[in-house]
Amino acid sequence: MSQNSDTAQDAGPQDGLQGGPTGPNHVAIIMDGNGRWAQRRGQPRLFGHRAGARRVREIVRACPDLGVKYVTIFAFSTENWKRTQTEVSGLMTLFRHYIKKETRALHDEGVRVRFIGDRVRLDAKLVKLMDELEAHTSANTKVNLTIALNYGGRDEVARATQRLAQDVADGRLDPADVGEETLPKYLDTCVLPDPDLVIRTSGEARISNFLLWQSAYAEYEFIETLWPDFTDEIFANLVKNYAGRDRRFGGVKT
Ligand code: IPE
Ligand code: IPE
Ligand code: MG
């Protein structure tokens, strides 16, 4: 299996041949620590979110040289609605501004942008911008950037199961044919390969409902750096570390 596959078909299910002394094809990042970064500077949490958003461009730009074809970032979880109204609405405004401001640069750099997560609860203006950005960049192939917005792994599996059940009810799917390969086709990530490496910043060693199904065999890096301090150099080192990992996928080293 190619590490630099262009299509999800090429990326395919894990067959035990992936990994080894090559770099990760798909890196997923839990961008955590914006709030603490701001608090340490005596600033409001949104100051940290704005600083965090500015880090994304450098990381996406670093991907081609590192051989990373897919990068997926966790921007807002289904649980983040629990935050104050000020923080939530500030984040939603930031997402709108971010899309408007970054569209040209992302397109010029050959980045294809996709969003995963439930759009139903999002503001119509934001959803329109998301749709436009996806359409505008849909022919790009250099890097695939996926932004998880109102995303939760359990929510995604629940929504996928609902659609799967509907297909059974409508006679399009035979329950006897449901196997391990069936559910991924209904997930928001259906066109993406599974992540090879998941990075979480800010020192928390948990995955907070991110890509639950897809990360079954991912390698993990939990690092202390707060997201607004994350650099392309740190990113390159984590990608390099990955090359030393022995991914066995349940098998035995030969
Ligand atoms: C991550 O930073 C960004 C979002 C969850 C939107 P946090 O806002 O969680 O920052 P900390 O964890 O409170 O420092
Ligand atoms: C995970 O961070 C979600 C995002 C980075 C968007 P959180 O800060 O929401 O996670 P917990 O609350 O520490 O688990
Ligand atoms: Mg956090």
Task: Let me know if 22 is exposed, middle or buried by CB neighbors in 10 A (0-12, 13-18, 19+).
Answer: middle
Residue 148, phi then psi, degrees to nearest 5: -90, 110
| Residue nearest atom 11 of ligand 2, based on CA coordinates | 208
Which strand (E) or helix (H) includes residue 199?
Answer: strand 197-200
For range 112-133, the mean pLDDT: 98
13 CA from centroid of ligand 3 (Å): 31
Please write the tens of the pLDDT for every residue from 199-250.
999 999 999 999 999 999 999 999 999 999 999 999 999 999 999 899 999 9
Output 87-92 pairs: Cβ under 8 A, ≥24 positions apart: 87/45, 87/46, 90/45, 90/46, 90/49, 91/46, 91/49, 92/122, 92/123, 92/126
Residues with CB under 6 A from ligand 1: 31-36, 76, 80, 91, 202
Count the alpha carbons within 13 Å of 191 in the hemisphere toward its beta carbon: 11
99 SS3 class: helix
Residues with CB under 5 A from ligand 3 (ion): 32
At 20, give phi and psi (nearest 5°). Answer: 80, -155
pLDDT tens digits for range 72-119: 999 999 999 999 999 999 999 999 999 999 999 999 999 999 999 999
| DSSP summary character for residue 121 | T
pTM of the entire predicted model: 0.92
Mean pLDDT of 9-24: 49
Poorest-confidence range of 6-10, 43-47, 135-139, 221-225? 6-10
- Catalytic (active site) residue 6: no
Q: Across all residues in the chain, what is the average pLDDT?
A: 92
Q: Ligand 1 centre from 3 Cα, in Å?
A: 31
What would the two tokens of residue 64 be?
């081609």
All domains of the chain, ordered by start, with CATH? 26-242 (3.40.1180.10)
Average pLDDT over residues 144-149: 98
